[in-house]
């Protein structure tokens, strides 16, 4: 994700593009991951528990009530499918956050090892 410096160009124009240092705080990434897992689990549980209740039952035996129940049930099925896709995207995002923390820790470990070797050679 690109970041721009908060420095404006000459004459108060748009910010000048340039290198920006990004600091990753793994505990904040882990906190976000935990929150997303809670949202995902809550939505998944709601769908499992309420899936049947979301499908409409005809209020009467007449044709209009029967047709309306079919239409409402189709809309519920569509909503459930869209929600399932949302849960899948949350799971992909959670996995990406796990990978980011894992990569960060590996990079941090490698950096520390390099620094210890450099200090040992001084």
CATH code where residue 47 lies: 1.10.287.850
The pLDDT value recorded for residue 7 is 46
The whole-number pLDDT of residue 89 equals: 96
- The domain in which residue 90 lies consists of 25-117
6 within a domain of the structure (yes/no): no
Structure confidence at residue 49 (pLDDT) = 92
- All residue ranges of the chain with pLDDT < 70 are 1-16, 22, 24, 106-122
pTM equals 0.62
Does residue 36 sit within a domain? yes
Task: Report if residue 109 sits inside a domain.
Answer: yes
Residue 97 belongs to some domain of the structure: yes
Residue 1 has a pLDDT of: 37
- Domain membership of residue 3 (yes or no) is no
CB 43 within 8 A of CB 86: yes
Q: What is the pLDDT, as a whole number, of residue 105?
A: 75
**pLDDT for 2:** 38
Spatial CB neighbours of 4, under 8 Å, sequence gap ≥ 6: 15, 16, 17, 18, 20
On whether residue 8 sits in a domain, the answer given is no
Backbone phi, psi, residue 85, to 5°: -65, -40
104 occurs within a structural domain:
yes
Residue 5 falls inside a structural domain: no
Total structural domains within the chain: 1
Contact 26, 105 (CB under 8 A): yes
Could you report the per-residue pLDDT of 49-77, keeping only the tens digit for each? 998 888 888 889 999 999 999 999 999 99
């Amino acid at each position: 994700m690109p970041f721009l410096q908060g420095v404006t160009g000459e004459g108060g124009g748009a910010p000048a593009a340039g290198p920006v240092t990004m600091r990753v705080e793994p505990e904040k990434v882990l906190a976000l991951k935990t929150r997303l897992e809670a949202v995902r689990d809550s939505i998944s549980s709601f769908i499992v528990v309420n899936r049947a209740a979301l499908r409409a039952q005809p209020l009467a035996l007449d044709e209009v009530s029967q047709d309306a129940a079919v239409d409402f049930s189709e809309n519920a099925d569509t909503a459930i499918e869209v929600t399932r896709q949302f849960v899948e995207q949350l799971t992909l995002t959670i996995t990406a956050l796990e990978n980011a923390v894992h990569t960060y820790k590996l990079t941090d470990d490698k950096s520390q090892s390099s620094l210890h070797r450099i200090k040992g050679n001084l």
